[in-house]
Amino acid sequence: MSIFIEILFIFSILIIILAHIGIRIIYNELKETPNKSKLSGFEIARFVSDKVAKEEPHIIKKKGHLLDHYNYERNVIKLSEEVFDGTDIYAGIVAFTVALETDPKRTRASVGHKMSAFLCCTSYIMITIGAFLNDAKFIHFGFVLFISALVLELLILNLFGKTKKEMEETYKLAKEEKLIVPYEENKEYLILIILISIANLPYRFINYFR
Helix (H) or strand (E) segment spanning residue 59: strand 58-62
User: Can you point out the beta strands (E) in 68-107?
Assistant: 69-71, 76-80
Give the residue from 24, 23, 197, 166 showing the smallest Cα distance to 97: 197
- Residue 143 is predicted with a pLDDT of 97
Give the residue from 17, 5, 15 showing the smallest Cα distance to 145: 5
Q: Is the peptide bond before 182 cis (omega within 30 degrees of 0)?
A: yes
Does residue 180 contact residue 96 with C-beta atoms inside 8 Å?
yes
Does residue 187 contact residue 52 with C-beta atoms inside 8 Å?
no
Give the residue from 116, 113, 87 showing the smallest Cα distance to 98: 113
- Residue 163 is predicted with a pLDDT of 55
CA distance 145 to 130: 13
**38 dihedral zone (left: phi>0; alpha: psi -120 to 50; beta):** left
- Residue 162 is predicted with a pLDDT of 56
- Residue 141 is predicted with a pLDDT of 97
Does residue 50 contact residue 100 with C-beta atoms inside 8 Å?
no
pLDDT in tens, 30-89: 998 999 999 999 999 999 999 999 999 999 998 877 789 898 889 999 999 999 999 999
Low-confidence residues in the chain, pLDDT < 70: 158-169, 191, 209-210
- Residue 67 is predicted with a pLDDT of 81
Does residue 174 contact residue 96 with C-beta atoms inside 8 Å?
yes
